[in-house]
């Protein structure tokens, strides 16, 4: 069974309109931001006072999808499809006006980088390639606050060799790692990370485009 996870009702509605009702698929709107995403994700599996690791509902893999902001000068444009090879918590650390440094205390019990399973990525790539869907493949950054300036985007891009930012992926990837679930993340770019100009965004178009691509992945997931 695949669990399809999106941050918002709009992102999920676009997918459900295209995806026939069939066994083997479940849906979760996880909310915006890493905290809300992690809470709703765990609640979906565990319910009240249950053990998350013991209640995985026969989920084979989790597919997180939706929109993202692409960093400048990465070769990624608005309405491009992006596939995550790694998720990174981009703003956990010590905040300065022009940067965020990692904590300099050895042994602190947290992780900030979550590489994805190579076999799962290869499976997704093969589906995209077979359907002649162009995509970019690389690092995603998860942030608590979306970047409102080009300068912050450039910092995140260069610090993490990343191509785009979102607000949920790393939190979901962390939970999946904890309980042994395969995780895949695919997003469509709604805007560039520049000095904020919402009038230049293509949010609705990106939502629709991402849904089209995820339907292809879901429809062919079991064929290989």
pLDDT in tens, 45-75: 776 445 555 455 688 899 999 999 999 999 9
CATH number of the domain encompassing residue 31? 3.40.50.1580
Q: What residue ranges in the chain does DSSP mark as E strands?
A: 2-6, 25-29, 61-71, 81-89, 94-96, 99-101, 113-115, 136-142, 162-166, 182-193
Task: Yes or no: say if 218 and 19 are a contact pair by the CB < 8 Å rule.
Answer: yes
- Residues 129 and 171: their CA atoms lie apart, in Å, by 28
What is the four-CA torsion angle of 3, 164, 170, 108, rounded to 10 degrees? Answer: 170
Q: Can you give the residue range of the structural domain that contains 140? A: 2-223
How many percent of the chain have pLDDT more than 90? 75
How many percent of the chain have pLDDT more than 70? 92
Task: Evaluate if residue 21 carries a pLDDT over 90.
Answer: no
- Band of the pLDDT at 19, cuts 50, 70, 90? confident
> Where is 39: in which H helix or E strand?
helix 34-46
> pLDDT value at position 103?
75
User: How many domains in the chain?
Assistant: 1
What average pLDDT does range 176-199 have in this prediction? 95
* Average pLDDT score over the chain: 91
> pLDDT value at position 49?
43
> Cβ atoms within 10 A of the Cβ of 224, count?
9
Mind giving me the DSSP string for 195-218?
A: S--GGG--HHHHHHHHHHHHHHHH
Task: Evaluate if residue 161 carries a pLDDT over 80.
Answer: yes
Task: Evaluate if residue 211 carries a pLDDT over 90.
Answer: yes
Task: Evaluate if residue 135 carries a pLDDT over 70.
Answer: yes
Task: Evaluate if residue 80 carries a pLDDT over 50.
Answer: yes
What average pLDDT does range 99-124 have in this prediction? 85
> pLDDT value at position 47?
61
pLDDT: which is higher, 23 or 138: 138
- Residues 164 and 189: their CA atoms lie apart, in Å, by 8
- Residues 109 and 126: their CA atoms lie apart, in Å, by 36
- Band of the pLDDT at 121, cuts 50, 70, 90? very high
What average pLDDT does range 124-149 have in this prediction? 96
Phi-psi region of 70 (alpha: psi -120 to 50; beta: other; left: phi over 0): beta
> pLDDT value at position 52?
54
> pLDDT value at position 102?
78
- Band of the pLDDT at 94, cuts 50, 70, 90? confident
């Amino acid at each position: 069974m695949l669990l399809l996870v999106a941050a918002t009702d709009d992102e999920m509605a676009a997918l459900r309109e295209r995806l026939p009702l069939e066994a083997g698929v479940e849906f979760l709107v996880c909310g915006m931001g890493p905290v809300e995403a992690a809470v709703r994700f765990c609640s979906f599996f565990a319910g009240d006072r249950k053990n998350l690791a013991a209640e995985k509902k026969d989920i084979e893999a989790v597919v997180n999808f939706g929109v993202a902001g692409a960093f400048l000068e990465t070769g990624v444009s608005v309405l491009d499809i992006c596939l995550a090879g790694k998720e990174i918590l981009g703003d956990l650390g010590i905040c300065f006006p022009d940067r965020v440094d990692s904590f300099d205390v050895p042994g602190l019990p947290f992780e900030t980088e979550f590489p994805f399973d190579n076999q799962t990525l290869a499976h997704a790539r093969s589906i995209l390639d077979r359907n002649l869907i162009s995509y970019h493949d690389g690092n995603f950054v998860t942030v608590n606050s979306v970047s409102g300036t080009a300068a912050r985007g450039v910092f995140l891009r260069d610090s993490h060799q990343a191509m785009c930012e979102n607000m949920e992926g790393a939190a979901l990837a962390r939970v999946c790692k904890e309980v042994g679930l395969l995780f895949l993340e695919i997003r469509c770019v709604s805007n560039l990370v520049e000095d904020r100009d919402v009038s230049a965004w293509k949010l609705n178009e990106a939502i629709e485009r991402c849904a089209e691509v995820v339907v292809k992945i879901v429809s062919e997931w079991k064929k290989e």
